[in-house]
Amino acid sequence: MLCCSAIRRLFPWMFCAYLSLALPGQAESAPFKGSLQVVIHEIAWMGTTASADQQWLELYNPGDDAVSLEGWKIRCRDDAFVKELSGAIAPGDSYLLIQEKHPDLPGVPVQDTFTGTWSTEGQRMLLMDDRNQLVDMVDRWYAGDEQTRATMQRVYPYRAGYVSGSWDTSRVRYDYGYGTPGFRDTTRASKQQLHAVYHAPDAINVYFNRSALTEFASEGNEANHMINMEERILSRLRQATNTIDITIYELNLSGLTDMLIRKAAEGVRVRVVADSKEPNPEDEDRVKRWEDARLALERLARGADGVPGTDDDVILFANSPIFAFEGDADRRQAMGLPAQARDFPRVSPVIAITEISGRLLAEGERRKDQTYYGPGTQMHNKFIIIDDQWVWTSSMNFTITDLYGSEANKRLGILDGNTNNGLEIHSPEVAALYRAEFEQMWGGSGDRPEPEKARFSGRKGMGREPHRVELGARTLDIYFSPGYNVVPAMSRYVEEHAKEKVYFAIFAWSDYALDRALKKKWETKGGDLEGERTDFMVRGVFEFWDEWWSAAINMTGRTASETSENNPNIRWKHRPPVFRPNEVRRMHHKYMIIDGDTRHNPTVITGSANWSNNANSINDENSLFIYCDLIANQYVQEFYALYQRAGGDLDSK
């Protein structure tokens, strides 16, 4: 056994005593009666799968009031070594300390670091407040697993002291083992089901922000579900060292905004392509989100020093000029902005055919006569390219609505936003393809956009071919809109390759050709109310259910209130099991699973594009065809949960 002086040399910051057994007079039957204003909540004494030295400790505030940690300490029993704390913990929030040589914990904000490492045999930790009163303590490792890297986690309800019944070994998966770092309590954290995250080249990680039925997982392939996707994005951005290119349809996530500002201040080149389309004035919710987005974009344009035109600014560009929001000085100041945007130039450009004045935040695609294209089309992408290595893409907008549902939910960490899926891909080849698409809109490869060379919407040119990428045993086809004709490609794929089943979850589907291709699989013929049932299976969930243009009208045999050349009312004779969703908010997916869990090349089609002419031929979008049985199986797990909530019967044919 090591002597105390040896322990001090090995573990210099916190501990003067190494104890693997309780001291005399401190038996488990007589726990310390602390205040429980803050508890030692979780300890990764065994480190993580990334490194055994990547040890971390989490404090948690279970009360109703914020607690200042100024003057607080974590120390050993005789005060020989002390780790001083700072900052505060909000009610229901966590404070994470991690070994300084391994400070990054993907998806989790870390408040402080420490030096040295802990003995895996056991340590004594004392948490002291600013009056040097004992708040909480631990005297040994009562739980945790050194082999699986499962943490020692406090059991709710929290009891003061160090009794063994107060601790358990975590069974919740996170990036680097088992644990719940950064979560407000173990009951809530257990809802986030992060089963596996891969970091090596060719990795593809899929995330769902609602539940999945993992009993349908193939072996070792449980879907990551109930995931806070902002945390996943921030975990990747935190590791960026050179470049971040991001396309933004909407933005009001303060965590994402803060991270982009931080990275630009660190010297990372951050380029943003944003959408400029203004909402219908009668849509009050969209109007507020558009105002919030302009406030967030202004924060980016000012950078960390708050002054536009300096080296730490995030550089913005859009499909049409974007002006600062000046309508409410109080809202501006609440966002940390000056009451007025006078340090941005006031300009009066011609946009489309109208002269419009405002404080210019972001330049737009410019015509040769120096006028600008109007904001009538949508830059609907939401992808991120990090260090030309990682690509994030999803159906999720960077908004509170899409992730949390409301500001109140965000404060509580409740994920009641729109139902979405996202994925990240580790591939320089995929990153290069997305960067080329980004730079078409940017107008070049430089730090600054070139407005006259930029190309958005149909000006990119039609008839472009999709890109095929091999990632290990997986194959991807990547489509960008406009120009790649992704929706007709979906129709052809269903016609030519779907053998047994198609499942889908779609926000908006108005494309008739895709509807007809699936109808022929289901009931042999494409005409109105004609065809005989086959043994092909179709299951689906539509967000837009009653709109006359929706494919849901045709599939359910209803008569549309109106028709168009692109949306004839060709009704299905035999109604398939398709439903409107039963979600907390909107079902925002745009995915189709072809022959999932079969021997026939299981395929997932997903991305930002709805199945419509606008998404195919007008909006800027990205879509992926992923040929992989494991990824298809993960989407099946999420689809089954979504389908059941909507009223679908998994046993029906």
Q: Tens of pLDDT along 325-380?
A: 998 999 999 999 999 999 999 999 999 999 999 999 999 999 999 999 999 899 99
Domain stops at, among 457, 476, 498: 457
Q: Average of pLDDT values for 294-302? A: 97
Domain count, the chain: 3
Say what the pLDDT of residue 1 is. 35
The residue whose two tokens read 């005409």 is 527
d(CA 545, CA 522): 20
**Is the bond leading into 482 cis (omega within 30 degrees of zero)?**
yes
Q: Is 527 a residue whose pLDDT tops 90? A: yes
- What's the CA gap between 466 and 163, in Å, rounded? 61
**Is residue 368 situated within a structural domain?**
yes
Please give the Cα distance from 390 to 4 (Å, whole number): 47
- Model confidence at 453: pLDDT above 70: yes
What is the reported pTM?
0.78
CA 457/CA 619 separation, integer angstroms: 6
What domain range includes position 69?
1-190
Do 43 and 138 touch, CB atoms closer than 8 A?
A: yes
- Average pLDDT of the chain is 88
Asked if residue 27 has pLDDT above 60, the reply is: no
Do 20 and 113 fall within a single domain? yes
Q: Which pLDDT does position 187 carry in this prediction?
A: 40
Query: Does 30 reside within a domain?
Result: yes
Q: What is the pLDDT of residue 413?
A: 75
- Cβ(344)–Cβ(308) below 8 Å: yes
Q: Which residues contact 559 (CB under 8 A, 6 or more apart)?
A: 553, 569, 571
Instruction: Tell me 587's DSSP state.
Output: B
Are 76 and 125 found together in one domain?
yes
Residues 234 and 97 in one domain: no
Lowest-pLDDT range of 35-39, 234-238, 506-510, 572-576: 35-39
Mention every residue, 6+ apart, whose C-beta is less than 8 A from residue 24. none
266, 273, 278, 256: which is closest to 316 by C-alpha?
273
Q: Are residues 246 and 280 in the same domain?
A: yes
Q: Would residue 149 count as lying in a domain?
A: yes
Structural domain contains residue 23: yes
Q: Is the pLDDT of residue 77 over 80?
A: no
CATH number, domain of 610, equals 3.30.870.10
Specify which residues 346 forms β-bridges with. Answer: 359
- Separation CA 449–CA 364 (nearest Å): 9
**What does residue 392 show for φ and ψ, rounded to 5 degrees?**
-105, 135
Instruction: List the single range of 110-119, 356-365, 522-531, 601-610 with lowest mean pLDDT.
Output: 110-119
- Are 425 and 487 within one domain? no
* pLDDT at residue 79, as a whole number: 57
Take residue 266 and report the two structure tokens written for it.
Answer: 């660190």
Report the amino acid identity of residue 131. R
Q: Which of 115-124, 311-320, 339-348, 592-601 has the lowest mean pLDDT?
A: 115-124
d(CA 162, CA 123): 12
Instruction: Give bridge partners of residue 467 from the DSSP assignment.
Output: 478
Angle of helix 284-302 versus helix 254-265 axis, rounded to 10: 20
Say yes or no: 157 and 179 in one domain: yes
